[in-house]
Amino acid sequence: MNDYKPKSGIQRTLVMLASSAVLLAGCATSNPGPQSDESFKQSMSEAEAALTSGQRDQALSLFEQIAKNNPTREEPWSRMAQIQFGAEHYPQAIVAAEEALQRDATDRKAKSVLAVSGLRVARRSLQELRADSALAGDVRSDAQLLAQMLRDTLGEQVLFPRDKNAAPAAKPVPRRRAAPAKPTAAAAQPAQAAQPAASGGGSADPFGALR
């Protein structure tokens, strides 16, 4: 009776990370000695030529050998990280990027590969966990926390880019300011004093008629 159960995507990712770490650690610890600058450049050129000709596995093998011979150089690790990322081998790309950053913490390409690969592995893992109804509650809270962290770090537009096929939002019509009203002749001229009420004898006293 076959009791074999297929491994989940998360288990496969962990196995691949462990295997890559063991393989690459072996490259980093055993080496015959560093190359000269000229020999190093020549080796890198040969690996790049293999990659350009479409021989990705051969190029990776050459970069691994260069990394073994030059344990303090970050360039071969950075190139392996980029190649693995381009092939969507994110666990291997993460391991290689971390190796590069251990040797040069300012390597921007390695930082980018590490960040984006980590996000894609996390997204894939969350999608697989979401299918497990027993973990639905935990997944929802974890996903909300992750989404908030990504939103704070990358911004809304990066996480949710605008659909290219969607109609562009209508531009608001600028309001025209009404021209200030011209003062009327009555308002422009000071009001004339009211004429005194008519009374007997033309007296200016308004109460004269009551006396």
**Segment 35-61, tens digit of pLDDT:** 999 999 999 999 999 999 999 999 999
Nearest to 110 by CA among 87, 72, 79: 79
**pLDDT (tens digit per residue) in 59-80:** 999 999 999 999 999 999 999 9
**Residue 152 — pLDDT band, cuts 50, 70, 90?**
confident
Q: How far is CA 61 from CA 24, 93, 107, 148, in A?
A: 11, 15, 22, 40
Lowest-pLDDT range, 52-56, 64-68, 89-93, 142-146? 142-146
User: Does residue 201 fall inside a structural domain?
Assistant: no
User: Does residue 143 fall inside a structural domain?
Assistant: no
User: Does residue 54 fall inside a structural domain?
Assistant: yes
User: Does residue 192 fall inside a structural domain?
Assistant: no
DSSP state of 200: G
Cβ-contact 95, 80 below 8 angstroms: no
CATH number at residue 59: 1.25.40.10
Q: How far apart are CA 80 and CA 95, in angstroms?
A: 10
Q: How far apart are CA 79 and CA 64, in angstroms?
A: 10
Q: How far apart are CA 180 and CA 14, in angstroms?
A: 73
User: Does residue 130 fall inside a structural domain?
Assistant: no
Range of the domain at 95: 9-116
In the chain, the largest separation of any two C-alpha atoms, in whole Å, equals 134
Nearest to 45 by CA among 82, 95, 79, 81: 79
User: Does residue 29 fall inside a structural domain?
Assistant: yes
Angle of CA points 75, 107, 86, to nearest 5°: 70
User: Does residue 17 fall inside a structural domain?
Assistant: yes
Cβ-contact 178, 169 below 8 angstroms: no
Lowest-pLDDT range, 34-43, 111-120, 177-186? 177-186
Collect all residues with Cβ–Cβ distance below 8 Å to 92 and sequence separation of at least 6: 16, 20, 80, 84
User: Does residue 49 fall inside a structural domain?
Assistant: yes
pLDDT, averaged across the chain: 74
State the amino acid at position 21 in one-letter form: A
Number of separate domains in the chain: 1
Q: How far apart are CA 122 and CA 143, in angstroms?
A: 10
* pLDDT at position 210: 42
